[in-house]
Amino acid sequence: MGSAGKILVGLGAVLIVVGLILIGLERLGVRTWRMPGDIAIHRDGFHFYFPLGTSILISLILTLLLTFWAWLTARGR
């Protein structure tokens, strides 16, 4: 299995673990978390939720992680 395959398997395992943690937290009574900046509109018979703040936070974290990973791999050359 190539390095790309190992990375995909690792990411899949991480997603499974995060999913199980979220399911477990929901069963314990912890409601879904919302960040400031998330848009939620509730009207009669209509619910709209757009996680803008959460999307920005996830984008920032992934950018930092991938930049750090690129720096580590470039340093090894």
Establish how many alpha carbons lie within 13 A of residue 58's alpha carbon, considering only the half-sphere containing its beta carbon: 8
77 and 53 belong to one structural domain: yes
Q: Are residues 27 and 59 in the same domain?
A: no
Whether this model's pTM surpasses 0.75: no
Q: What is the DSSP string of 14-65?
A: HHHHHHHHHHHHHHTTPPPP--TT-EEEEETTEEEEE-HHHHHHHHHHHHHH
pLDDT at residue 19, as a whole number: 85
Enumerate residues 6+ apart whose C-beta is below 8 A from 32. 26
Q: What are 44-54's pLDDT values in tens digits? A: 999 898 888 88
* Average pLDDT score over residue span 47-67: 89
- The alpha carbon of 68 is separated from its chain's Cα centroid by a whole number of angstroms, namely 17
Asked whether residue 28 falls in the same domain as residue 2, the answer is yes
Residue range of the domain that includes 61: 36-77
